[in-house]
Amino acid sequence: MADTSIWVDADACPKVVKDILFRAAERTGVGVTLVANQPLAIPRIPSLRVMTVASGFDVADNAIVVRVNSGDLVVTSDIPLAAEVLAKGADAVSPRGERFSPDTIRGQLTMRDFMDTMRSSGVVGGGPPPLSQADRNAFASHLDRWLARRRPCT
């Protein structure tokens, strides 16, 4: 497990999802790095760290893309970031437990761009609904499956 890491686009990641990740880091020792443009308070867990980056458009995303390796997991709601890390062989999942895949990412990028256009024209407003218990469960389930695939065979 030391060969793989979890990278978190932490500025927009809900606290409850970070708490799930903290418990996973404590339980398994997997490396978890929260990348944010502001300092974050985290529990004292040896495999847990914060990378504080400068403020600015895509600075945190770029820091993740530069450091992510094939097999790592990236937690993000940012579809363009998910596309970039998938291209590098990493896995990507949203805090809602939606797994991004190379087979569907192009369609998700197209829909994102379409919705951006609709929002900027005033046709569509508002953001996503609050994180539900089903979303939390979906995220935790995806994380557990990712962790299980990385356990050494004994």
Question: What CATH number is given to the structural domain containing 110?
Answer: 3.40.50
What is the average pLDDT across 1-24? 88
Q: Are 95 and 14 in contact (CB under 8 A)?
A: yes
Distance, in Å, from the CA atom of 32 to the CA atom of 52, rounded to the nearest integer, reads 14
The C-alpha atoms of residue 45 and residue 56 are separated, in whole angstroms, by: 29
Whole-prediction pTM value?
0.84
Strands (E), 16-100: 31-36, 48-52, 73-75, 91-93, 99-100
Number of compact structural domains in the chain: 1
Lowest-pLDDT range, 9-18, 87-96, 121-130? 121-130
Chain centroid to CA 100: how far?
A: 10
For the stretch 125-147, pLDDT in tens is: 666 778 899 999 999 999 999 99
Domain residue limits at 83: 5-150
